[in-house]
């Protein structure tokens, strides 16, 4: 399994599912975008299982392993990497890229470019 793909999958899932506790009544544009996003990610990443929710993309399993098990395994790797100061500094720089990320709070948000594809 490619670590970059798994990290990309987790970041996208966190970005998309920030509204998980919000009202799940989203509009049709959002539903269409989520369907397309799920198809694109499945094509790019591989064996991904999503929840049945139409308003956000929640990954349940990847390559036959639940996300909980993936996160548990990754936690051990991160703990080992944290012991290396150079590795820790690299991850801190990587995390700084996402500090100012403006995450939309509206359950009906979808990218404007998706309007053009219709």
Question: Which residues, in sequence order, are CB contacts of 9 under 8 Å at separation 6+?
Answer: 41, 45, 48, 59, 62
User: Structurally, how many domains does the chain consist of?
Assistant: 1
Digit-coded pLDDT (tens) for 56-114:
888 888 888 888 888 888 887 777 777 778 877 887 777 777 777 666 666 677 777 76
Q: Which residue has the higher pLDDT, 44 or 36?
A: 36
CA 34 to chain centre: 12
Token couple for 33: 């975008």
Q: Which residue has the higher pLDDT, 38 or 104?
A: 38
pLDDT score of 30:
86
Answer whether residue 21 shows pLDDT above 50. no
CB 49 within 8 A of CB 60: yes
Length of the chain, in residues: 118
Query: Residue 92: which domain range?
Result: 3-116
Strands (E) across the chain are located at 48-50, 59-62, 65-66
pLDDT band, very low/low/confident/very high, at 49 (cuts 50, 70, 90): confident
Q: What is the mean pLDDT of residues 12-23?
A: 56
- pTM value > 0.75: no
pLDDT score of 64:
84
- HSE-CB at 47 with a 13 A cutoff on CA atoms is 9
């Amino acid at each position: 399994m490619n670590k970059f793909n798994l990290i990309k999958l987790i970041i996208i899932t966190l970005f998309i599912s920030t509204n998980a506790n919000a009202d799940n009544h989203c509009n049709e544009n959002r539903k269409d975008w989520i369907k397309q996003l799920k198809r694109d990610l499945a094509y790019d990443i591989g064996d991904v299982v999503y929840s049945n929710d139409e308003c956000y993309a929640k990954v349940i399993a990847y390559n036959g392993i639940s996300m909980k098990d993936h996160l548990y395994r990754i936690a051990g790797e991160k703990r080992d990497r944290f012991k290396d100061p150079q590795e820790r500094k690299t991850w801190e720089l990587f995390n700084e890229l996402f500090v100012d990320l403006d995450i939309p709070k509206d359950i009906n948000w979808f990218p404007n470019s998706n309007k053009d594809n219709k």
